[in-house]
Structure 1
Amino acid sequence: MKNIVLLTGAGISAESGIKTFRDADGLWEGHDVMQVASPQGFAADPELVLDFYNQRRKQLLTVKPNKAHLAITKLQEHFNVTVITQNVDDLHERAGNKNVVHLHGELLKARCTQNETEVLEWTKDLNLGDLSKSKNQLRPHIVWFGEEVPLLEKAAKITETADVLIIIGTSMQVYPAASLVHYVTNGTPIYFIDPNPSIKQSDFNNLTIINKTAVNGLPTLVKDLIDTML
């Protein structure tokens, strides 16, 4: 069975109504990124950081997966499919996507500040005084700027196995996630779905650029792949 790997970013969730964290001016909901997405920011003002993610969590619970998320489940009926996502929402899972690797963490989880392997499901507000089993303060289970991306090596190994790579909803400007495209075997078909693509046809071998949004581009591509690869 063929292996299809998808790299997804904020664009696929934006069409469900999820606000993309970073605005054009570089601010996240009016905050400097280092205030709300770095260990230093959390140390300086933990209440601000916790509230920032509490608001993101509340919004996530009001939205639903869109046609792009659901299209991936169609691929799963015929191929081995893995989604490697930069997104911290659970829309892939809610749509029925079975194999999802969250490079940047998960919004609906919290983890111990002293033991990163101690992770809890968390759907309510996270406040100062909420403690892990080892009696340490809990923090959002998010990979912040300056922190290692623990699942990057796993994601790279998965990408190496791809018979088809689909990149959708990401500008390919955020590293180290953007480096994953370089792990595909030479000649592997790559599809880049974006209404304003940041890469050119000549940037990669066997690249097809689809100038559409996730919702408009992915369902058609999925149908084409099923028709031509089976």
Structure 2
Amino acid sequence: MLRPRVVVLSGAGISAESGLKTFRDAGGLWEGHNVMDVATPQAFAKNPKLVLQFYNERRRQLLKAQPNKAHQALVNLEEKYDVHVITQNVDDLHERAGSTQVLHLHGELLKARSTQNDGDIMECTKDLKIGDLCKNGFQLRPHIVWFGEAVPLLEKAATLVSKADYIIFVGTSMQVYPAASLIDYAPVHTHTFVVDPKPQLNAAHANTTVFEENATSGIQKVVEKLLQECR
């Protein structure tokens, strides 16, 4: 028998409770940097050293962070449900908590890729520097989808959402495109949960439950509700 499918759409709010900051908390500044200076292809072409240093700092911060109770609670859903996490976050906290099906819309901080071949991707847990090359001799860059770049996994994410029985939005306003377009693929019958202390998400369907609270407390309530339904 097929288990009901839960699709989790997570954003910066869930990782903030693990100590990872988001530029949207500071009016477009991310750790003191204008995002256009560190998160665009143009920025990398203009000042690759600055961009690499910026992501090196983010990587070091991530390696010290730990999954929180929200990440861990979502893992418990896998006992009864087919759970797919679609995250806008570039950290690996969902995976470290134990989630087994995670799709990273915006790339992964602990990976690097060739500047000449997007498919040439490798693990990266140390600082990236000018002169660090892929196997074909091209400079490596962070495996991050920067502003102005295509989101290659968007179609796969849309397919997952289109087959969802339940959708959980946590720590994301879903106001930024193209990720915001995923809402449009949700089936009419889908029960939607929104977990956010200041929800901005307009309920696309009548069958929506909103928890106006932080991820760590709200997600545990959603998980408890879904596990009770599956008894």
TM-score exceeds 0.5 = yes
2:210 aligned partner: 209
**Partner secondary structure for residue 132 of structure 1:** coil
- Which of 17, 20, 38 is the aligned partner of 2:19? 17
User: CA offsets per residue over residues 6-44 of structure 1, 9 Å max, x none?
Assistant: 000000000011111333321122222111000000000
Alignment of 1:148-167 (within 5 A): 148-167=150-169
Q: CA contact under 8 A between 2:175 and 2:201: conserved in structure 1?
A: no
Deviation at 1:135, TM superposition (A): 0.5
Does residue 50 of structure 2 align to residue 48 of structure 1?
yes
Structure 2 unaligned spans of 5+: none
Q: CA contact under 8 A between 2:105 and 2:153: conserved in structure 1?
A: yes
Write the distance in 1 (CA, Å) between the matches of 2:18 and 2:35. 23
Alignment of 1:142-153 (within 5 A): 142-153=144-155
Write the distance in 1 (CA, Å) between the matches of 2:25 and 2:13. 13
User: CA offsets per residue over residues 156-176 of structure 1, 9 Å max, x none?
Assistant: 000011000000000111111
Please tell me the residue identity of whatever aligns with 1:11.
G
Write the distance in 2 (CA, Å) between the matches of 1:173 and 1:115. 30
Write the distance in 2 (CA, Å) between the matches of 1:87 and 1:199. 18
2:117 aligned partner: 115
**Partner secondary structure for residue 222 of structure 2:** helix
Cα RMSD for the two superposed structures = 1.0
Q: CA contact under 8 A between 2:165 and 2:189: conserved in structure 1?
A: no
> Mean Cα displacement is larger for which, 172-181 or 189-198?
172-181
Please tell me the residue identity of whatever aligns with 2:171.
G
> Mean Cα displacement is larger for which, 29-38 or 4-13?
29-38
Structure 1 unaligned spans of 5+: none
Does residue 225 of structure 2 align to residue 220 of structure 1?
no
Q: Give TM-score scaled by structure 1 length.
A: 0.97
> Mean Cα displacement is larger for which, 26-35 or 98-107?
26-35
Q: How many residues align?
A: 229
Write the distance in 2 (CA, Å) between the matches of 1:107 and 1:93. 13
Q: CA contact under 8 A between 1:22 and 1:29: conserved in structure 2?
A: no
Q: CA contact under 8 A between 2:113 and 2:122: conserved in structure 1?
A: yes
Write the distance in 2 (CA, Å) between the matches of 1:98 and 1:132. 28
Write the distance in 1 (CA, Å) between the matches of 2:54 and 2:188. 42
Alignment of 1:78-227 (within 5 A): 78-201=80-203, 203-227=204-228
Q: CA contact under 8 A between 2:80 and 2:230: conserved in structure 1?
A: no
Q: CA contact under 8 A between 2:188 and 2:205: conserved in structure 1?
A: no
Write the distance in 2 (CA, Å) between the matches of 1:19 and 1:96. 22
**Partner secondary structure for residue 56 of structure 2:** helix
> Mean Cα displacement is larger for which, 181-190 or 119-128?
181-190
Q: CA contact under 8 A between 1:161 and 1:184: conserved in structure 2?
A: yes
1:229 aligned partner: 230
Write the distance in 1 (CA, Å) between the matches of 2:206 and 2:117. 42
**Partner secondary structure for residue 73 of structure 1:** helix
1:57 aligned partner: 59
Write the distance in 2 (CA, Å) between the matches of 1:38 and 1:12. 24
Q: CA contact under 8 A between 1:162 and 1:188: conserved in structure 2?
A: yes
- Which of 54, 76, 79 is the aligned partner of 2:78? 76
